[in-house]
Structure 1
């Protein structure tokens, strides 16, 4: 049974303006308003509630250089989320975690690592591979989550409770970055498979799915979807919209092929503050219902 779990954390994002608060924390309720929970309930899904984060603070003026934004609150939320995701898995459920920003991958990673599951499919418009080894500007975990998840960030983030790496680099696939992504070359040298959005667009869905399964496993991997993998012509309601992304139909076909083998999935970075009339909430809801109806069916 699919369990919809809200994780409305915006703690890993930079402020939209000085002193401001990112809108991604509103995404789960915007999707509920767009009918997501009602439509999944018709498929037999369960509403598993919410894991509330701590307060977002623009701490740029006071934060020590060796900490990321909202680090203490982000770590506390990761541990709470790990417990809730783990509880769903232990009762045979299939978590569908609605973020928030993609720093929630840390808590999910801890939950999976506790249970010996190491495969990850990271579908994102950016590699999110910034870390202290390649940048002096580590501050926002939403741009550093994949690096942390495979053990490359500071231990305070990448080794919570001694579970580093949360996902095995050799069993991790990233798909969807743009050609100008600064960390793509490094990611290719570390991860099992890295596919750009341009390359994915040129490939058959069946071939991509086969390549993903060869690395992440035929079943039991986690599927992390950041909706900025879509081209901004169809999904502008994200904090970093970059041209050259996937189409709705192309992404839906890929997710539909791979969702059945996933033990769970997370969806992040949709920002309702950038969707004033709610039209893109309906786009995301349609995509998720169409693509994740069989989430976990073969896992």
Structure 2
């Protein structure tokens, strides 16, 4: 069964303007109003509560290796990890509705506590800014993939000694644009990097390639990260960094529908209701997610508890 977790964090984003706070924290309730939670309930999903973030403070201190909202972000990540772990323990598939991309730290921590897992990072950007390639590290929403594979400051990427949350060789990125600043670096590190222009040309053709990385017998499952800015800005401008050259709604829904059944769980990030005054984009996103993630986790073998051995991955056939 799918179990929805609300994670209304905006802690990983910079302020959109001086004296303001990012709107991504409003996403779970805006999507609830658009019918997302009720639509999933019709499919048999339940809810697993809300992980509230701490107070937003625009207080980065890179000189002392502290990101924006440093303490609050770490606390939120640990609490989110605990909630995801409890959902997995009872055999459900967590669907985390964020919030900004920094929630990947909590998801990664939850999974690393349980063993070795793959990551499919679907995002319009590589989110790979880190201390080794930038002096501007401050906002984890633009640094989440780097943190997930162990390349951020240890306070972020090595919570409780669990770095890396995902091995780079078990990680696939899909959806960045060709002009992404870290594109070449990521291509040299991760198992597969597939820009949006290639995904849009042949969605089905990439599914087996992705599965070949993240759906191996040696892994205990994989996690889907979905930043809605992977959509072309003509379809989804209600994000903090919209750009052209992305996926269409149909392409994203089809991609998710292929990958979701074998995934342990998923997270949805960066939708900003402040940029959607009519609610039209929330309704569009609801249709994409219900279509794409409605069978989340249904093709997985039974989960394992922390420290246990993975269930045989071949015991559950790939859904058709």
TM-score (norm 2): 0.91
Deviation at 1:118, TM superposition (A): 1.8
SS at match of 1:190: coil
SS at match of 1:69: coil
Deviation at 1:117, TM superposition (A): 3.3
Does structure 1 residue 217 correspond to structure 2 residue 215? yes
Q: 8 Å contact 1:20–1:58 — kept in the other structure? A: no
The answer for the alignment partner of 2:303 in structure 1 is: none
Query: How many angstroms apart in 2 are the aligned matches of 1:58 and 1:135?
Result: 19
CA deviation profile, 1:43-64 (whole Å, cap 9, x unmatched):
000011100010111225x775
SS at match of 2:204: helix
The answer for the alignment partner of 1:52 in structure 2 is: 52
Q: For the aligned residues, what is the CA RMSD?
A: 1.1
Q: 8 Å contact 2:62–2:138 — kept in the other structure? A: no
The answer for the alignment partner of 2:85 in structure 1 is: 86
The answer for the alignment partner of 2:171 in structure 1 is: 172
Does structure 1 residue 41 correspond to structure 2 residue 41? yes
Query: How many angstroms apart in 2 are the aligned matches of 1:102 and 1:43?
Result: 26
Deviation at 1:81, TM superposition (A): 0.3
Query: How many angstroms apart in 2 are the aligned matches of 1:254 and 1:286?
Result: 14
Query: How many angstroms apart in 1 are the aligned matches of 2:156 and 2:200?
Result: 33
Query: How many angstroms apart in 1 are the aligned matches of 2:263 and 2:91?
Result: 13
Query: How many angstroms apart in 2 are the aligned matches of 1:59 and 1:206?
Result: 44
Query: How many angstroms apart in 1 are the aligned matches of 2:132 and 2:58?
Result: 25
Does structure 1 residue 153 correspond to structure 2 residue 152? yes
SS at match of 2:188: helix
Query: How many angstroms apart in 2 are the aligned matches of 1:103 and 1:281?
Result: 21
Unaligned segments of structure 1, at least 5 residues: none
Q: Map residues 1-299 of structure 1 onto 2, 5 A cutoff.
A: 1-59=1-59, 64-203=63-202, 205-217=203-215, 220-299=221-300
Query: How many angstroms apart in 2 are the aligned matches of 1:294 and 1:201?
Result: 22
CA deviation profile, 1:169-216 (whole Å, cap 9, x unmatched):
10100000000001011001111100000111122x222100000111
TM-score (norm 1): 0.97
SS at match of 1:47: strand
Q: 8 Å contact 2:13–2:141 — kept in the other structure? A: yes
SS at match of 2:238: coil
Query: How many angstroms apart in 2 are the aligned matches of 1:182 and 1:200?
Result: 19
CA deviation profile, 1:66-109 (whole Å, cap 9, x unmatched):
21100110000000000000000011010000000010000000
SS at match of 1:108: helix
Deviation at 1:9, TM superposition (A): 0.4
Count of equivalent residues: 297
Between 1:63-72 and 1:165-174, the stretch displaced more is 63-72
CA deviation profile, 1:113-149 (whole Å, cap 9, x unmatched):
0011320000000000000000110011000000000
